Amino acid sequence: MVTVYVLGGLLALLLATGLTPLVKAFAIKIGAVDVPNARKVHTRIMPRMGGLGIFGAFVISLLGLMVVAPDLLLSTERDSNLVWGLLAGGSIIVLIGALDDLYELSAKVKLLGQIIAACVVVFGFDLTVNFVNVPFGNQYLSIDDWIAIPLTIFWIVGVTNAINLIDGLDGLAAGVSAISIATLLVMAVFMGNPVVILLCVLLLGSIIGFLFFNFHPARIFMGDSGSLFLGFSLAVLSMLGFKQVAIVSFVTPLLIIGVPLSDTFFAIVRRWLQKKPIFAPDKGHLHHCLRELGFSHRKTVLIIYGIATFFGILAIVQSVAASHHANWVTFVVICILLVALQLGAEVIGIVSKKRRPMLDMLHRIRVKVESRSDS
């Protein structure tokens, strides 16, 4: 079985490496290019639609493995629904993203496409979150369909857009998605879920193959076809991919995609404080703030990779602790997370350059301690 995983990952990587240059030439030919403007970091016209290379590599390798090892992927109805739901919904998402890369669709049209893709997963393949684990208890709560269905659709659409929002620097969205998928992979190995392991391996191989062309200095952008597909895949796998989902607290999926979700959350808070429309674009995202602090393009991306890895480690620790009913670990993880988010947001100024309550409090404490020591 390990051989299948390794060969599948290598196949996806090689396919992405081979397909991406073809997608680049195709994007240039049809005019799917990204033109610089005041909000964007790049300074020259770049081909986009690189997500077609990621999606193509994933689909071809997955279909090939379905022929070679059908028992591994389609052994149960739930596994079969997960695979076909990801393919069907992912195809719709990629189509919407590719059309946006070419024609720049309105936000309403893109949102409608995302909702349709989510509904295909929920209604067409019966993939919904119908129970969650209580972080500080050993029981899980059953969720009625009237709550589970809109909750699942909201999660899929929200995560899909969260990945799309961080796609602002070369290799950023692809790398962060790869780290999140690697986190899912480790958890799937821990839980012994071969289908999720294989899907993660194929996605990881496809992303790494694409990153050869997308890491700074990029030769092609993934575009919405890539960021929306990766966000959609992460949303589906992070909530629906585990047979032993009862042992996974609802905190875990939030940690897995902590970077895009926290960046989106801070963007909403920032725009609310500034009395701007919540969906209004700005240059206050995490990568923008790090660039303003003087970090280079590449260092900014690597710093965010580090933050994503930190979230991933917390997710793994928390899920392992939850499986052993070590609920105090969940409490510690949440406390560490909240403090780290607040301090990090204040240091880089992602919400406000002036409002820094925790840093101000620490400064006052330090002043008092120093004054007492001097006296």
Binding residues are: 164, 224
Percent of the chain with pLDDT over 90: 36
Say which residue, 102 or 40, is predicted with more confidence.
102
- Tokens 């990881």 belong to 204
pLDDT at 272 over 90: no
Q: What is the pLDDT of residues 353-369, one digit of tens each?
A: 777 788 888 878 887 77
> Distances from the Cα of 150 to the Cαs of 53, 83, 118, 127, 274, in angstroms?
31, 21, 10, 12, 30
What pLDDT band is residue 279 in, cutting at 50, 70 and 90? low
Alpha carbon distance 345, 347 (integer Å): 6
Chain centroid, CA 286 distance in Å: 15
Say what the pLDDT of residue 251 is.
Answer: 65
Task: Parse the chain into domains and list their residue ranges.
Answer: 2-369
| Binding-site entries for Mg(2+) | 164, 224
> pTM of the full predicted structure?
0.85
- Would you state the pLDDT for residue 332? 78
Beta-carbon contacts of residue 205 (< 8 Å; ≥ 6 apart)? 8, 9, 10, 11, 12, 13, 16, 57, 61
